[in-house]
Amino acid sequence: MTYRLQLLHALIEAHPDRAGRLKVHVEALETTISGEPERCLERVRALFEATYHTIAPKLGLGSVAGEDFPAQNSRVINALDFTLDGHPDADKIGKAIRKLVGSMNGTVGALAELSNISGMRHGGSFDWRTLQRQHAVMLGGLCDTLVSFLFDAAWSREAATEANTPKYGDYAEFDGYLDAEHDLVEVAGASFEPSRVLFLLDRTIYDAVRVEWEVAQTAEQEADEGAAA
């Protein structure tokens, strides 16, 4: 009977644009749990490490290579934002969830200890007893819960940040005003809109000028309405 990592499959379905490589690891782990339980620890550790190496750069942590297994997990958890926007005690909730997830670090530490014992992940004698299917199912469940949660927390927060980040073109009327007031910027035979150049190179000035322009537009509109009345 095939074992299915339910939470990880749900994650893949929710983020099809990000989860292509993850799917390969998940299917490999499922196959191992069902047919080669003695290799499950190897697959689980590989999936955890791939998770840390994928999430860490997105959180601005740089490489986690060279750190021990629990340290990698701890750094990623501490960098994730678990607050619930809109709740008056959002910070307290974030800290409590971090403690809850952080308590799993003990489990990750035990996983590291187990994987470093000869014969559990590699090496050992052909005559030594190895992990059985019940162990593989337990390890798969651990991986399913923690890895899916870490990815979902990281990707959901990243998506929310991207959605709330202004993009060039969001203020088309203001961009048109800037482009009408200034000449095209020419570099090596290529021409660029002044508004695009200012937006990409100095957002502080872009936003300051935009706010002034919007205030002036509002005042002009109110004056016109008053004259019409």
- Cα atoms in the 13 Å half-sphere on the side-chain side of 105: 17
* Token pair for 57: 């750069």
Token pair in block for residue 129: 């007893």
* The pLDDT value given to residue 158: 66
115 closest CA partner among 131, 101, 96 = 131
Residue 225, phi then psi, degrees to nearest 5 = -65, -40
Looking at residue 117, the DSSP 8-state letter turns out to be: S
Q: Residue 144's pLDDT is what?
A: 92
Distance from C-alpha of 78 to C-alpha of 50, rounded to nearest angstrom? 18
**Strand intervals (E) in the chain:** 185-187, 190-192
The pLDDT assigned to 66 comes to 67
C-beta separation of 56 from 154 below 8 A: no
**Any idea how long the chain is?**
229
CB 120 within 8 A of CB 130: yes
- DSSP type of residue 128: S
CB hemisphere CA count around 77 (13 angstroms): 23
Strand partners, 191: 186
8 Å CB contact between 78 and 98 = yes
pLDDT value of residue 134: 92
Per-residue pLDDT of the chain (229 residues; tens, 9 = 90+): 678 999 999 999 988 888 878 898 999 999 999 899 988 988 998 888 888 888 888 777 766 666 777 787 788 888 887 878 788 888 888 888 888 877 777 787 888 888 888 888 777 788 888 889 999 999 999 889 989 988 888 887 765 555 556 778 888 899 999 999 999 888 888 888 989 888 888 888 888 888 888 888 888 887 777 777 6
Please tell me what DSSP assigns to residue 108: H
Contact by Cβ (8 Å): 27, 8: no
